[in-house]
Amino acid sequence: MDQFKERTSAEALGSGKSKIIAALLDPALFEDFTLGIYSTLGAPYALSNTTLLDNCAATHLVNREELLVPGSLKIAHPQDCVEAGSSSLPIRGRGIRLMKGVLADGGDLELRNVALVDGFNVNIISEPLLKKAGVWYMGLDATLRRGTADNNVVVKQLERRSNVTVIWVLKLRKVIISRNVEFDESKFYSKEHEKVAGHPLPIIKEIVQMIEEEEEEA
């Protein structure tokens, strides 16, 4: 399958009309949703680096500019915002999101007119907008499909976790860093110790384990 491109109406860009975002999340269910040390990226919320499918979202949304194609961000209308619960959150701009290799055949998913709301708790793909582009959600097996009910192909297998439908989530990479740390050995033993033991204390090696988060598409 060639690169699938999902486009929204050009009139929606900078229209100043609010869009409804209705993803309801239950924090009590997130204990099994292990994403690693997400706080190292300054993201205080467990799903902030995850992309969910939302059948009540009127727009695609990302919570940081790095998820958009460089140079694609256009500053939004001053009144452009999303409504989430009782809150009205400003949209900084809109751009293109390219999710490489996420489709079933290894193809890319391109989303246009994606709202940037800095610090939003999750990233969202609008199921209604996908449907407009000919891709629909099958809730029975959590798949995105193209075609008719009787004749269709699976575009993407999704995953249900913590009562939400996940399209994309970060993977983790462990990086081990070793370095030698020299100490003043006189603080740890005396000459008398060396005479008895026959050798000084060895140079102490400190192993520092650091975990870095790398954005890899599932």
> pLDDT by residue (tens digit) across 166-217?
887 765 444 444 445 454 555 545 555 455 455 544 433 333 334 444 444 4
Band the pLDDT of 160: cuts 50, 70, 90: confident
- Residue 175's pLDDT is 41
- Residue 98's pLDDT is 95
Contact by Cβ (8 Å): 77, 17: no
> pLDDT by residue (tens digit) across 163-175?
788 887 765 444 4
Rounded-to-integer distance, Cα 11 and Cα 126, Å = 17
Mean pLDDT value of segment 138-159: 94
Mean pLDDT value of segment 121-137: 93
Rounded-to-integer distance, Cα 214 and Cα 211, Å = 10
Contact by Cβ (8 Å): 73, 146: no
> pLDDT by residue (tens digit) across 13-63?
334 444 555 444 444 444 444 443 333 344 445 678 889 999 888 899 999
Whether the pLDDT of residue 73 is over 80: the answer is yes
At residue 190, what are phi and psi to the nearest 5 degrees?
-115, 175
What separation in angstroms does the CA of 178 have from each of 172, 206, 207, 208, 214? 19, 7, 5, 6, 20
* Maximum pairwise Cα distance, the chain: 87
> pLDDT by residue (tens digit) across 96-127?
999 999 999 999 999 999 999 999 988 999 99
- Residue 185's pLDDT is 52
At residue 164, what are phi and psi to the nearest 5 degrees?
-130, 160
Residues in contact with 15: Cβ distance below 8 Å, sequence separation at least 6, in sequence order: 77, 80
Q: Which residue has the higher pLDDT, 174 or 4?
A: 4
- Residue 75's pLDDT is 96
- Residue 179's pLDDT is 46
- Pairing between strand 205-214 and 171-180? antiparallel
- Residue 147's pLDDT is 95
- Residue 173's pLDDT is 46
Model-wide pTM > 0.85: no
